[in-house]
Chains A and B, each alone.
Chain A
Amino acid sequence: MSGGTAGRRWAVLLVLPALVPVAAVVGAALVSAVLLSLGLTPLVGQPRLSLDAWRGAAGDLGTATLLSLGIAAAATVVAAAVGLCLALAATAVVRRSRLLGALAALTIPVPHLVGAAAMGLLLADTGFLPRLLGVSPDAWPPLVGGEWWVAVVAEYAWKESAFVALVVGGVLASRARSYDETAALLGAGRWARFRFVTLPLAAPALGAASAVTFVYTLGSYEVAALLGRPFPEPLPVMAVRLAGSIDLTVRPQAAAVAVTTAVLALAAVLLALRALRRLSAWD
């Protein structure tokens, strides 16, 4: 239909002003990173196609990738679970307790760096929590800089759970109550209502918010750098360290790590979009 085609063309035109800068910045950055990692735009010497940078980084790349995926997955799962609970609590007691909503919303404008510093002060072996509990630094588990990256996951989960709660709560607030009442009158108890009605209704929003959380955590640097251990490093920490190194010849390795991170994030987004399309078919 010509009307439909014209309408679509008009829609594309309207989107262009937003699309062009994004494509230019992200595209240019990615292309230059790829070129750098392949030795085609060296800082010193002649351009030459080579996989040297990838080979150089390969030793730590596998561990870093697994570590990054692990941190992002753990933080996402915790944030999604806590966020969903917050959203349910906030919508269940509509108007009666705005405190919960306010607390969740307050978390959002706090920068991650500030959150990380606070988490460090709270969870370190000489931090606030062990002092409050009267545990000596020796007996306190290594939450900050420890083997399990607990403080890092905790910080991401804390901050992102508020984001998840905001997104999911918005969806539930507008529709959950009437469906919940309908289900109750059809004989569904509390658990059945959650399992068969509330959760499916929240699923698209929860999935989208979780995908954003995962990708953000995967590519985020500062929290892992502050609260993590020096080795092994997650991908973004490794990329920043290599890029800032005084040895200029490792710059292409930094680019290789950055490209890997971007590819992983892109793959996660594509997978999430596919899953969400199925979930949102009814939304």
Chain B
Amino acid sequence: MTSSGMLRLEELTRVHTAGQPPALDGFTLDVPAGSCVAVLGPSGSGKSTVLRLTAGLDAPTRGSVHLDGRDLTGVPPERRGMAMVFQRPLLFPHLSVRDNVAFADRVRGVPRRTARERAEEYLGLVALGGYGDRPARSLSGGQEQRVALARALAAEPRVLLLDEPFSALDTALRAEMHDLLTDLRVRLDPTVLLVTHDPAEADALADTVAVLDGGRLQQTGLLRELYTAPASLAVSRLLGGRTEVAGTVRDGVHSSPLGDLPLPGWVPDGPGVLVVRPEAVRVTAPGDPAADVTGTVVRVRRRGLRALVVVEVPGPGGVPVEAELGAGEELPAGRPVGLVLPVAARAVVPPATTSAPTGARPGTSRASVGGGPGRRRP
């Protein structure tokens, strides 16, 4: 790998159709050399647009892309020193596996023999040594994506762009590819800009995460910080947060149908939505004095070894709170329980400015009931 580059995206904006809202709106992001930054967002959030603008496949309506301080405006994709792995492997069907990997060298004018020898090295890196002679179409999905990765790395890009490259693979293969990429990062130290809709993938691969929603950057930081302190409802929802209780903050205490719950850090007074991750919520006996609230289990959702329970806390319309049970724990619907909401796990985000798309995600237990007293402790 040649020296990895430092990428800076500045105020990137892209309007596909005049009069329509922009697909990407004033997106600014720094990708330090040798780091991996993930752009995390739901479908249609504009994350693929980020990559296409970075790669030069589309031109931004406004804003610019800088690589090592150089403005890349007007530089065609082939001169940007970037390589991209797409969701589909897109191996050239008329070339063998080896010639696919040797492609970048061949178009650079490297003699065929040298290019093929180097291709074998890169195939070895992705654990596909000896596959060079095969036709590209004879490989399995996971192998194809490995070859696509080797082909991109063989181009020795200053920045490697990954557009949901593993989302079409099954869980086991995806984990394998994550390990491979982590290993390659240690060996080659590339600068990577990854786009994904999967928080787990971002967690497995990236140093920092930028959350994108509706074409706008919502929050950047370490994923752990984003989990514990999401900046908005959109970030919380994208990261799998399901409990949302509207209320009011005064003097560092959130008041809602769940009661008055002290918050871990300073939060401005005024209306705010309490969000708590299900993994942080502990389920205890209804009479447990440590419990912050009590309620009744109304739904149980299986997630492998651990089950997710929806506990309805009495309040206007019932306030659903989600909690993850310990491995192997069981609780039937209808059972009264107590819930511990650890102070460190409580976060308050501003209420959604537009009406929340409640119908968009069936099965979630979002509550948007008005705040009020109704403090109920056992």
Whether, in the assembled complex, B92 has its beta carbon less than 8 Å from a beta carbon of chain A, the answer is yes
Could you tell me the distance in whole angstroms from the C-beta of A181 to the nearest C-beta in chain B?
Answer: 6
Measured between beta carbons, the chain A residues less than 8 angstroms from B151 are 186
Whether, in the assembled complex, A283 has its beta carbon less than 8 Å from a beta carbon of chain B, the answer is yes
Whether, in the assembled complex, A188 has its beta carbon less than 8 Å from a beta carbon of chain B, the answer is yes
Could you tell me the distance in whole angstroms from the C-beta of A130 to the nearest C-beta in chain B?
Answer: 45
Inter-chain CA distance A251–B149, complex, in Å, is: 68
Chain A residue with the shortest CB-CB distance to B57 = A181
Contact across chains for A187 and B155 when beta carbons are under 8 A apart: yes
Chain A residue with the shortest CB-CB distance to B55 = A185
Inter-chain CA distance A283–B135, complex, in Å, is: 11
Contact across chains for A196 and B77 when beta carbons are under 8 A apart: no
Contact of B90 among A179, A192, A200 (CB under 8 A): A179
Whether, in the assembled complex, B224 has its beta carbon less than 8 Å from a beta carbon of chain A, the answer is no
Q: Mark B103-139, 1 if CB is under 8 A from A, else 0.
A: 1101110000000000000000000000000011100
Inter-chain CA distance A62–B135, complex, in Å, is: 45
Chain A interface mostly: helix
Measured between beta carbons, the chain B residues less than 8 angstroms from A178 are 86, 88, 90
A residues 188-204 near B (Cβ < 8 Å) are: 188-189, 192, 196-197, 200-201, 203
Whether, in the assembled complex, B329 has its beta carbon less than 8 Å from a beta carbon of chain A, the answer is no
Task: Known A178-B88, A181-B57, A282-B135; judge A186-B155 contact (CB<8 A).
Answer: yes
Whether, in the assembled complex, B84 has its beta carbon less than 8 Å from a beta carbon of chain A, the answer is yes
Inter-chain CA distance A183–B90, complex, in Å, is: 10
Most B CB atoms within 10 A — which of A178, A181, A186, A189? A186
Task: Known A196-B103, A282-B135; judge A188-B94 contact (CB<8 A).
Answer: no
Task: Known A185-B78, A282-B135; judge A200-B94 contact (CB<8 A).
Answer: yes
Chain A residue with the shortest CB-CB distance to B52 = A181
Could you tell me the distance in whole angstroms from the C-beta of A148 to the nearest C-beta in chain B?
Answer: 37
Range, interface on chain A: 20 to 34
Measured between beta carbons, the chain A residues less than 8 angstroms from B77 are 181, 184-185
Whether, in the assembled complex, B152 has its beta carbon less than 8 Å from a beta carbon of chain A, the answer is yes
Contact across chains for A187 and B137 when beta carbons are under 8 A apart: no
Contact across chains for B78 and A187 when beta carbons are under 8 A apart: yes
Measured between beta carbons, the chain B residues less than 8 angstroms from A183 are 92, 103, 107
Chain A residue with the shortest CB-CB distance to B109 = A192
Could you tell me the distance in whole angstroms from the C-beta of A208 to the nearest C-beta in chain B?
Answer: 15
Measured between beta carbons, the chain B residues less than 8 angstroms from A185 are 55, 57, 77-78, 82-84, 152, 155, 161
Measured between beta carbons, the chain A residues less than 8 angstroms from B107 are 183, 186-189, 192, 196
Whether, in the assembled complex, B318 has its beta carbon less than 8 Å from a beta carbon of chain A, the answer is no
Q: Mark B63-100, 1 if CB is under 8 A from A, else 0.
A: 00000000000001110001110101010111000000
Inter-chain CA distance A200–B137, complex, in Å, is: 15
Contact across chains for A186 and B104 when beta carbons are under 8 A apart: yes
A residues 206-248 near B (Cβ < 8 Å) are: none
Task: Known A188-B78, A201-B94, A282-B94; judge A182-B84 contact (CB<8 A).
Answer: yes
Could you tell me the distance in whole angstroms from the C-beta of A16 to the nearest C-beta in chain B?
Answer: 32
Contact across chains for B78 and A189 when beta carbons are under 8 A apart: yes
Chain B residue with the shortest CB-CB distance to A204 = B94
Measured between beta carbons, the chain B residues less than 8 angstroms from A196 are 92, 103, 106-107
Measured between beta carbons, the chain B residues less than 8 angstroms from A201 are 93-94
Contact across chains for B93 and A282 when beta carbons are under 8 A apart: yes
Most A CB atoms within 10 A — which of B88, B104, B136, B161? B104
B residues 153-198 near A (Cβ < 8 Å) are: 155, 161
Chain B residue with the shortest CB-CB distance to A192 = B107
Chain B residue with the shortest CB-CB distance to A283 = B93
Measured between beta carbons, the chain B residues less than 8 angstroms from A281 are 135
A residues 9-27 near B (Cβ < 8 Å) are: none
Chain B residue with the shortest CB-CB distance to A182 = B90
Inter-chain CA distance A188–B86, complex, in Å, is: 17
Contact across chains for A186 and B76 when beta carbons are under 8 A apart: no
Measured between beta carbons, the chain B residues less than 8 angstroms from A189 are 76, 78, 107
A-B contact pairs, 21 of them (CB 8 A): A178-B88, A184-B57, A184-B76, A185-B55, A185-B57, A185-B77, A185-B78, A186-B83, A187-B104, A187-B155, A188-B78, A189-B107, A196-B92, A196-B103, A196-B107, A197-B92, A200-B92, A203-B94, A281-B135, A282-B135, A283-B93
Given contact pairs A185-B78, A196-B106, a sample of 19 additional A-B residue pairs in the complex whose CB atoms are under 8 Å apart: A178-B88, A179-B90, A181-B57, A182-B92, A183-B103, A184-B76, A185-B55, A185-B152, A186-B104, A186-B107, A187-B78, A187-B104, A188-B104, A189-B107, A196-B103, A200-B92, A200-B94, A282-B94, A282-B136
A-B residue pairs, 3 tightest by C-beta: A184-B77, A188-B107, A192-B107
The chain B residues found within 8 Å of chain A, CB to CB, are 55, 57, 76-78, 82-84, 86, 88, 90, 92-94, 103-104, 106-108, 135-137, 151-152, 155, 161
